[in-house]
Amino acid sequence: MPSSLIQNESVLAIEVGAAVTRVVLFDVVEGQYRFVASGQAPSTAEAPFKDIGIGVREAIVNLQGVTNTKILAPDNNLVSPAQPDGSGVDAVVATISAGPSVKTVIVGLLNDVSLQSARRLAESTYSRVVESLDLTDHRKPEQQLDGIVRSRPDLVILTGGTDGGASRSILKMLEAVGLACYLMPMEKRPMVLYAGNRKLAGDVQELLGGHAGKLEISYNVRPSLETEDLGPASRELAGLVTKLRQRQIKGVDELNMWTGGNVLPTSYAQGRMIRFLSRLYESTRGLLSVNVGASATSVAAGFKGELALGTYPQFGLGESLGTLLQYTELDDIMRWMTLDISPNVVREYLFQKSLYPGAIPATKDEQAISQAVARQALYLAVQTLKKDFPGTQTELMPSLDLIIAGGGVISEGVSLGQSLLLLLDAIQPVGIMPILIDQNNLLPLLGAAAERNHYLPVQVVDSGAFIGLGTVISVNAAANYGDQVLRAKMTYADGTDVRADVKFGGLEILPLPSGQSASLSLQPLNRADAGLGAGRSGTVPVTGGALGVVIDARGRPLQLPSDPVRRRELIKKWYYTVGG
Amino acid sequence: MLAPVLHVLPLTTIVRERTLPVAGKVNAHLNQRVNPTDVIAEANFAREHVLLDVARTFGVSANAADKLMKVKEGDRLTQGGLVAEMSGMLSRSIKAPRPGRVMVAGGGQVLMEVGDTRIELKAGMPGTVIQVMNERGVVIRTAGALIQGTWGNGRIDNGLMVSLIDKPDAVLDADRLDINLRGSVVLGGHVRDVETLRAAAELPVRGLIISSLLSALLQTAVQMRYPILVLDGFGAMPMNSAAYNLLTSNNKREVTVNAEHFDRYNGNRPEVIIPLPISTEPDEPNAYEAFAVGQKVRMRRSPHAGMIGALANLPSGMSLLPSGLRASAAEVKLENGTTVLVPLVNLEVVG
């Protein structure tokens, strides 16, 4: 690429998570942006530190140790722009997922229209919906008011009415929200996002402007009954969440200053990057990104440039583990266990881990529990967002072009095989697709960088910053365990080949190193579907990866034996197949 | 790497902020000596509101309704007090359905807050008021022993501490709780059944300090009206030796059990305070330190959760853990003489 197309600036990207703060240096190497190095440190948003700046600086010091360049001056301030002696950076971008979940009140007119849009909007960030109001709410106005006040919200999302449509009912709800804001102490008043009938923008300003902690008026999320457009409102919402974090957590102000006012919520940046990649690579099916973190599990899916984004603090692996059993049964976690550990031990693990979100498994038993919990959390998050995927009528996942996975439990796992199995179990993808691991959790940081530098994300992604696990072929069939469901033959570039007779209920790995391509011939038996349609044979190009080509013939949805001993043996066998 | 500090200290200076959840009146004054049960601030907090739609009731415009109102913001009304009146051939009126205060009067409506609840904020610990925050509360300073825990049920009380624990891994059962313990703060071990919590409530005790609690009992623990403070966590965990030694050596002393919820963002956490006389004021403890060889540390996670040891070595780089993960770790010499490798993020300094 000609150098004129490169802004030629070094970029320090910072991600402040609930448990870990990561800093990443991007710079131009041989005319292309590259991921240079990363450093990390425990996050310090929480007590006793209560200042994210401490963790950010410690992570930068660790990065300096890797790159041998000075980014912090002796007075601990950032050196920016980069200096002739090589010290400093030209720009900073940052995302944040640390912080308590955002207590959110959603308001809409119709329960299944605007309120659903408000809910989806709330779920695009680190929200916990604590109260909702719509036309089917038959409480008295003062009861609605008390409901809002008692829930002590950080944020109110107001929707309702198509553009130019209903206004009277919305005005009544606005009054309730305005009064509730007025009744709260000034410093605790919620931020309000209005994304309803545009005609009422003036009324909203008049009714709420003086009472809300901060008011943003966005485009209508439901400009018409048939159309939902969350894009502009989710951008405004991201801004409000950052402002809220500035109010809640020391050090966010300084980080915001470093970035020129562009700190983004991490999951928003993740979603932005997935939408960008979906457009860039003209994905015909869909791209999926998952991030299993301490603060939340987030899932972003891009379908032809459109984004579905779900951020679920309730499925995070940190503080919220203490309430995970409100969303799932203990048995549903136990089904993923590889070791014979009592359900009571797993239950106590959840509560103890919620006390120390940053702690990591030190023993094999705890690692087994941690993996089982992460599987179930990711499974729940994917199942929740899947309802919003376009054209998803079955319980199966839609066919995807690519999966990118990040988050400590995946990117810093014991082995890549374990990480792959976790993803296959929790996502249960259908069809043929490569799976990448975002080992340095770059995806959201690239999403944040995209705003200031369009070339950086593209070039970093193209440079192979993610680890390719390989190509996965999921085989679905109405068969019994052990029945043969597929004959596969992979022909390498040098003309040699490898064959496999794949049985239902198993995993098969065909070796294909990273950077290599091959031709894979698939011949399903008994009307099995190997991604080409039920019973359809064909040949597809495949790319290699750390694990090669993985044929997952365990069926969809994945059925596990009810007998725990047999189940554990089977899971261990799968672990063994993917390398332990 | 920076290390959080768990305070288990025989003598230190303790400074704590005590604030109302809503604005109110502060009774205490600067430099005042307070006792744990002293009400240092109070507030009235209305839990409910009543919206009276004057315009709609009278069938007039909002502006016209405003002129018919007989109340203004801040007015206190008794039940039946006149809110608005429309004269005419048949005069009509709107009266307050319940006693309360007018919050808003305008736009054709009157909003009243009703159902006043009185909040009394007790000092919770003995000490001296060193700062008064207008309408919010005070900062109190005292000196004594400080023992921090991991979970509390949100209550606070004080009383004479009676130890029922004879070893760190003891279990506290209901049959140990006899009538002689009424009004005491009971120091116990692991609690594994709901009967023990209920027996303590029936006495009643003024607090329960325990090593660990089965998570299945959390719901019951939250409902108890006396403070329950869990020192080490959930499951069957022994009491960490630092807390065990300090608490048992202060048996029969007056203690404050502040079993407030652990708020990881503002730093409030459950703690036991044992006020002690001093000749010179000790230093305030550090909230965090850098890990260093020789520090006393507590393990937060299995397989040695709750155990205390001495930090013997800080290997550089990443260490391979038995779990298969790689992380910055420390070699810790446990009190039983064995040395174990523990990830730094699973440690906290005791001090």
- Looking at the fold, whether B240 and B146 belong to one and the same domain comes out as yes
Contact A141 B51 (CB under 8 A): yes
Structure tokens at B295: 């520090």
Instruction: Indicate if the pLDDT at residue A580 is higher than 80.
Output: no
- Looking at the fold, whether A75 and A135 belong to one and the same domain comes out as no
Asked whether residue B108 is assigned to any structural domain, the reply reads yes
Contact B50 A142 (CB under 8 A): yes
- Looking at the fold, whether B105 and B184 belong to one and the same domain comes out as no
Contact A360 B23 (CB under 8 A): no
Model confidence over A315-338: pLDDT tens digits? 999 999 999 999 999 999 999 999
Name the percent of chain B lying above pLDDT 90.
90
Asked whether residue A257 is assigned to any structural domain, the reply reads no
Q: Cα distance from B320 to chain A (closest Cα, Å)?
A: 9
Asked whether residue B161 is assigned to any structural domain, the reply reads yes
- Looking at the fold, whether B345 and B296 belong to one and the same domain comes out as yes
Asked whether residue B336 is assigned to any structural domain, the reply reads yes
Instruction: Indicate if the pLDDT at residue A560 is higher than 90.
Output: yes
pLDDT for position B22: 86
Contacts of A517 (CB under 8 A, 6+ apart): A493, A541, A542, A543, A544
Name which residue leads in pLDDT, A279 or B231: B231
Asked whether residue A386 is assigned to any structural domain, the reply reads no
- Looking at the fold, whether A92 and A107 belong to one and the same domain comes out as no
Asked whether residue A289 is assigned to any structural domain, the reply reads no
Asked whether residue B163 is assigned to any structural domain, the reply reads yes
Closest residue of A to B344, CA-based? A359
Cβ-contact A117, A166 below 8 angstroms: no
pLDDT for position A6: 54
Contact A179 B104 (CB under 8 A): yes
Picking from A203, A219, A248, the residue at the C-terminal end of a domain is A248
- Looking at the fold, whether B148 and B173 belong to one and the same domain comes out as yes
ipTM for the whole complex: 0.91
- Looking at the fold, whether B83 and B130 belong to one and the same domain comes out as no
Model confidence over B307-335: pLDDT tens digits? 999 999 999 999 999 999 999 999 999 99
Model confidence over A245-295: pLDDT tens digits? 999 999 999 999 999 999 999 999 999 999 999 998 888 889 999 999 999
- CB contacts under 8 A, A 402-461 vs B, are 412-415
Q: State the CB neighbour count (10 A cutoff) for residue A83.
A: 12
- Looking at the fold, whether B77 and B220 belong to one and the same domain comes out as no
A360 touches chain B (CB under 8 A): yes
Compute the average pLDDT of residues A149-175. 90
pLDDT for position A393: 63
Model confidence over B266-308: pLDDT tens digits? 888 999 999 999 889 899 999 999 999 999 999 999 999 999 9
Compute the average pLDDT of residues A420-428. 97
pLDDT for position A185: 87
pLDDT for position A3: 40
* Residue of B270, B45, B292 lying closest to B154 (CA atoms): B270
Q: How many domains does chain A have?
A: 3
Parallel, antiparallel, or unpaired: how do β-strands A191-194 and A155-158 relate? parallel
- Looking at the fold, whether A111 and A89 belong to one and the same domain comes out as no
Give the integer Cα–Cα distance in Å for B236 and A386: 39
pLDDT for position B222: 98
pLDDT for position A4: 43
The amino acid at residue A565 is: V
Picking from B249, B275, B301, the residue at the C-terminal end of a domain is B275
Asked whether residue A39 is assigned to any structural domain, the reply reads yes
Compute the average pLDDT of residues A470-497. 95
Select from A141, A182, A413 the Cβ nearest to the Cβ of B104.
A182
Q: Cα distance from B160 to chain A (closest Cα, Å)?
A: 29
Distance of CA B261 to the CA centre of its chain: 5
Q: Which of B215, B318, B340 has the most A C-beta neighbours within 10 Å, making it the best mutation to test the interface with A?
A: B215
Give the integer Cα–Cα distance in Å for A476 and A531: 8
Contact A352 B1 (CB under 8 A): no
Select from B47, B49, B264 the Cβ nearest to the Cβ of A319.
B264
Give the integer Cα–Cα distance in Å for A222 and B247: 61
Select from A42, A149, A363 the Cβ nearest to the Cβ of B323.
A363
Chain B neighbors of A102, CB-CB under 8 A: none
Closest residue of A to B49, CA-based? A142
- Looking at the fold, whether B96 and B64 belong to one and the same domain comes out as yes
Q: Cα distance from B342 to chain A (closest Cα, Å)?
A: 7
pLDDT for position A305: 84
Q: What CATH number did the domain enclosing A213 receive?
A: 3.40.50.360
- Looking at the fold, whether B28 and B56 belong to one and the same domain comes out as no
Contacts of A503 (CB under 8 A, 6+ apart): A482, A483, A484, A485, A553
Contact B287 A47 (CB under 8 A): yes
User: Mean pLDDT of all residues in chain A?
Assistant: 94
pLDDT for position B87: 86
Model confidence over A86-128: pLDDT tens digits? 899 999 999 999 999 999 999 999 988 999 999 999 999 999 9
Instruction: Indicate if the pLDDT at residue B344 is higher than 50.
Output: yes
Model confidence over B129-185: pLDDT tens digits? 999 999 999 999 999 999 999 999 999 999 999 999 999 999 999 999 999 999 999
Asked whether residue B342 is assigned to any structural domain, the reply reads yes
pLDDT for position A198: 92
Q: How many domains does chain B have?
A: 3
- Looking at the fold, whether A87 and A190 belong to one and the same domain comes out as no
Picking from B77, B99, B117, the residue at the C-terminal end of a domain is B117
pLDDT for position A380: 98
pLDDT category of residue A1 using cuts at 50, 70 and 90 = very low
pLDDT category of residue A394 using cuts at 50, 70 and 90 = confident
> Measuring CA to CA, how many Å separate A137 from each of A45, B60, B105, B238?
38, 26, 25, 50
Asked whether residue B282 is assigned to any structural domain, the reply reads no
Q: Cα distance from B232 to chain A (closest Cα, Å)?
A: 9
* Residue of A579, A504, A558, A563 lying closest to A334 (CA atoms): A563
Sign of CA dihedral B210, B216, B219, B225: negative
SS3 A171: helix
- Looking at the fold, whether B109 and B238 belong to one and the same domain comes out as no
Model confidence over B68-126: pLDDT tens digits? 999 999 999 999 999 999 988 778 999 999 999 999 999 899 999 998 889 999 998 99
Instruction: Indicate if the pLDDT at residue B54 is higher than 90.
Output: yes
Asked whether residue A276 is assigned to any structural domain, the reply reads no
Q: Cα distance from B286 to chain A (closest Cα, Å)?
A: 9
- Looking at the fold, whether B168 and B213 belong to one and the same domain comes out as yes
pLDDT for position A7: 67
A118-122, A167-171, A308-312: lowest mean pLDDT where? Answer: A167-171
- Looking at the fold, whether A85 and A179 belong to one and the same domain comes out as no
Instruction: Indicate if the pLDDT at residue A340 is higher than 60.
Output: yes
Cβ-contact B343, B326 below 8 angstroms: no
pLDDT for position A579: 87
Structure tokens at A443: 């995806």
Instruction: State which residues form the domain around A158.
Output: 102-248
Name the percent of chain A lying above pLDDT 90.
85
- Looking at the fold, whether B198 and B324 belong to one and the same domain comes out as no
pLDDT for position A454: 86
- Looking at the fold, whether B260 and B162 belong to one and the same domain comes out as yes
Instruction: State which residues form the domain around B312.
Output: 291-350
Model confidence over B2-33: pLDDT tens digits? 899 999 999 999 999 999 988 899 999 999 99
Closest residue of A to B52, CA-based? A142
Q: State the CB neighbour count (10 A cutoff) for residue A308.
A: 25
Give the integer Cα–Cα distance in Å for B212 and A181: 41
Q: What CATH number did the domain enclosing B202 receive?
A: 3.50.30.10
Structure tokens at A248: 């809640």
Instruction: Indicate if the pLDDT at residue A392 is higher than 70.
Output: no
